[in-house]
Amino acid sequence: MEIKEVDIPEIKQIYEKYMVNDFPAAELKPFMAIESLIKRHSYKCFALDSQASLTAYAFLYFNDSQRCFLLDYFAVIATKRGRGYGSQFLTLLKKKLFAVDGFLVEVEKLESAEKEQEREEREKRLHFYLKNGMKKTNVTTNLLGVDFDILYQPLRKSLDDYYVYSALKGIYNTMYPEQLRDRIVINYGM
C-alpha cells in the first residue's frame, strides 16, 4: 500500500472516472473549482495505490491559519470496497498529515434522512469514521440546505468545539464564493 499526493492531471482522471460516480452531482464541485483551489495551495489530493492501481482517494481543503484540514471527499473505488482499504487509507492519511492539528469531516445528519436506506447509509458512514478514531463534536452546519454533524480527528493536538467552529468558518469563508456564504450556517455548543 502506498499513499501519494496526486497532481492536477491525475486528479482530473480520478474526477472523471470515479468521482462523478461515487458522489451525487449536487455534492460534487465542478473540476474547475477544485483545480482553482489546488492552484491557490488550499487543496490537496491523495491516492492510495495497491498493486499499481488506484484503491482509494481523498480530497482535503487546508486552512493554513488554523493548521487544519477538511476532508472534502473520501472514497474507496467501488470494486474494492468492504475489504478494509478505507480504514487503512485513513490510518496512512493520519501519518502523512501528522504535522497539522487535525482534520474535520462533515457527516450528513441522521435525522434529516428522508428514506430508511439513506439513513442506513449515513449511519454506516458515521460508524466508519467513529471506529477509525474520529470524535463527534457539538458543531453542526447547514451547508447550502444540507444539515451536517462535524467530526474531528485530532493529530497534533486535541481540538475543542470553538477551535472546530473557527477552523470550519475559516475554511468555508475561503472555500465558497461570497454569494453562497449566506446559505451556510455553523452552530456550536448546542
Kindly report the pTM of this predicted structure.
0.91
pLDDT of residue 14: 97
State yes or no: pLDDT of 97 exceeds 90: no
pLDDT of 135: 95
pLDDT given for residue 159 in this prediction: 84
What is the structure's pLDDT at 190?
57
Is the per-residue pLDDT at 127 higher than 90? yes
For the ranges 53-62, 94-103, 143-152, 168-177, the one whose mean pLDDT is highest: 53-62
d(CA 91, CA 101): 15
- What is the per-residue pLDDT across 2-52, written as a single tens digit (0 to 9) for each? 899 999 999 999 999 999 999 988 889 999 999 999 998 889 999 999 878
Segment 176-188, tens digit of pLDDT: 888 888 888 888 8
C-alpha cell at 147: 444539515
What is the average pLDDT value for the chain, to the nearest integer?
A: 91
Q: Which has the higher per-residue pLDDT, 45 or 173?
A: 45
Residue spans of the domains in the chain: they are 2-187
Residue 174's pLDDT band (boundaries 50, 70, 90)? confident
Helix, strand, coil percent values for the chain (each to nearest 5) = 45, 30, 25
The CATH number of the domain covering residues in 2-187: 3.40.630.30
Share of the chain above pLDDT 90, in %: 67
What is the C-alpha end-to-end distance of the chain, expressed in Å? 41
Return the C-alpha torsion angle 10, 14, 17, 18, nearest 10.
170
What pLDDT shows up at residue 111? 92
DSSP 135: E
How is residue 19 annotated by DSSP? I
| Phi, psi of 96, deg, nearest 5 | -65, -35
